Each structure stands twice: as C-alpha cells, then as structure tokens.
C-alpha cells in the first residue's frame, strides 16, 4: 500500500512539475514576443519618423567666452572689470 501511495505521489509531483514548467515556458515566450514586437515597432517608427525630428546642436558658448576681451569701465565709484 505504501508503494502504491508513493508511486501516485511521484506521478502527481512530476505532473505538477511538468505543468508548471510548461506554463512558465509559455509565459516566457509570450513575454519575449511582446518585447520583440515593441522593439521592432519602435525601431521601425524611428526609421520612418526619425529623420524629421530635430537633432541637438553643439553650442559654442565656451569658445565665445574665451575669445572675448574683458570689459573694463569706471562707473564713478570705482573701476569695474567684467570677465
């Protein structure tokens, strides 16, 4: 009787393990499929509409400040040097 009970418990345990593995594999494939569709649609949208978007431009404020001469003036109360 114990042998029959152990055999049934083993079969039930293996069945649950295989079923849980199958469910997790299906969920994993579904997740990979969703990520793949979103990624490909994003890449396609960027390829189609990306050329019309504005691109960042490098600002040249640092060079303009370096090349500028300091301004010096007297306001009546003292000399001001603007660097």
Q: How do residues 23-76 score in pLDDT, each as one tens digit?
A: 999 999 999 999 999 999 988 888 877 666 667 777 766 555 566 677 888 878
Token pair of 19 as six digits: 């079923």
Does pTM top 0.95 for this prediction?
no
Give the mean model confidence (pLDDT) for residues 5-33: 97
Token pair of 12 as six digits: 């039930």
Region for residue 81 given its phi and psi (left: phi exceeds 0; alpha: psi -120 to 50; beta: otherwise): beta
Measured between alpha carbons, how far is residue 23 from residues 19, 30, 35, 40 in Å? 6, 11, 18, 26
């Amino acid at each position: 009787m114990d042998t029959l009970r152990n055999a049934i418990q083993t079969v039930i345990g293996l069945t649950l393990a295989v079923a849980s593995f199958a469910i997790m594999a299906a969920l994993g494939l579904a997740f990979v499929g969703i990520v793949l569709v979103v990624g490909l649609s994003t890449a396609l949208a960027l390829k189609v509409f990306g050329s019309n978007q504005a691109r960042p431009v490098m600002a040249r404020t640092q060079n303009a400040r370096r090349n500028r001469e300091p301004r010096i003036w007297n306001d009546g109360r003292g000399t001001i040097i603007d660097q």
